[in-house]
């Protein structure tokens, strides 16, 4: 339980920006044609949404080949500054985590210990170029690791509005490189008002992350996630995380409850 919840807490915060194959759309109706420029403009806009604070209590279900567990995650974000998550299991606080632009601190309330590491440590440990902003983007439902200065390419699919970080022929070239580039797909909703899903592929280790926004809700003028399903495919197993957002607040000042008891030692 301990190692798996730690994996979920840190991986969802830090590593959900590392993983694409074509999206399957068999049996769907064709959607109206839209220009590449129009799709790019929507993505630019979604990646630039400004807010100050975000809060959600998330009912979370985690499943892999070895375990199936449910817990609650309270998320508080001060935009461009810090992100706090409190995980409770059976209504008991288990892990309290504070993520900043350069570090992560996690208090393990059951083991009565604390972990403090730089983000560089996680980059080296998991061999992924993760950034603090990616965690904010994941929880807020924004395009992860989207770069306005980068050129994106339309996926030839009459059933979805999907843009990719590489064109088709470059994906094939990428497969032959020693150091392969991470590929990201962004799929927009049919009304072009929100992100429907994002799929990220790491050809280097053949892992894939698929994030599907199954339902969104309008809160204080922001179209934020309500139900999200994350599937992580690795050579070893398939991991599924279901997130049901509750008690969502946007732009209301939040108190960050994060204290490291003086008696807590470093987690081993």
pLDDT at 83: 96
Which of 157, 109, 142, 118 minimizes the C-alpha distance to 216?
142
| Whether pLDDT at 14 is above 60 | no
Sign of CA dihedral 8, 12, 16, 21: positive
Average pLDDT, the chain: 86
CA angle 60, 222, 251 (to 5 degrees): 85
pLDDT at 178: 59
Tens digits of residue pLDDT in 152-180: 999 999 999 999 998 877 776 666 665 66
Packed helices 2-14 and 132-140: angle between N→C axes, nearest 10 degrees: 90
Q: How far apart are CA 74 and CA 56, in angstroms?
A: 6
Q: How are beta strands 113-118 and 265-266 bridged, if at all?
A: parallel
pTM: 0.83
pLDDT at 80: 95
| Whether pLDDT at 243 is above 60 | yes
CATH superfamily of 2-258: Lipoprotein localisation LolA/LolB/LppX (2.50.20.10)
Which of 171, 140, 128 minimizes the C-alpha distance to 48?
140
pLDDT at 66: 87
């Amino acid at each position: 339980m301990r190692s798996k919840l730690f994996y979920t807490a840190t991986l969802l915060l830090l590593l959900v920006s590392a993983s694409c194959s074509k999206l399957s759309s068999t049996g769907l109706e064709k959607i109206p044609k839209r220009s590449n420029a129009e799709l790019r403009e929507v993505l630019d806009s979604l990646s630039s949404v400004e807010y100050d604070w975000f809060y959600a209590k998330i009912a979370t279900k985690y499943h892999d080949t070895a375990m199936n567990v449910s817990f609650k995650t309270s998320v508080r974000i001060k935009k461009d500054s810090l992100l706090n998550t409190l995980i409770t299991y059976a209504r008991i606080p288990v892990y309290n985590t504070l993520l900043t632009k350069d570090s992560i601190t996690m208090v393990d309330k059951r083991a009565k210990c604390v972990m403090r590491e730089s983000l560089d440590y996680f980059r080296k440990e998991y061999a992924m170029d993760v950034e603090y902003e990616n965690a904010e983007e994941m929880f807020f439902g924004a395009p992860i690791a989207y770069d306005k200065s980068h050129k994106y390419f339309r996926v030839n699919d009459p059933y979805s509005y999907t843009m990719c970080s590489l064109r088709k022929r470059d994906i094939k070239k990428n497969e032959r490189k020693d150091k392969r580039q991470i590929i990201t797909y962004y799929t927009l909703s049919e009304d072009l008002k929100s992100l429907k899903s994002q799929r990220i592929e790491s050809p280097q280790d053949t892992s894939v992350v698929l994030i599907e926004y199954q339902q969104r809700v309008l809160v204080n003028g922001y179209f934020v996630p309500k139900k999200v399903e994350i599937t992580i495919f690795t050579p070893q197993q398939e991991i599924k995380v279901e997130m049901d957002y509750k008690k969502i607040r946007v732009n209301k000042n939040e108190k960050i409850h994060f204290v490291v008891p003086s008696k807590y030692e470093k987690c081993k």
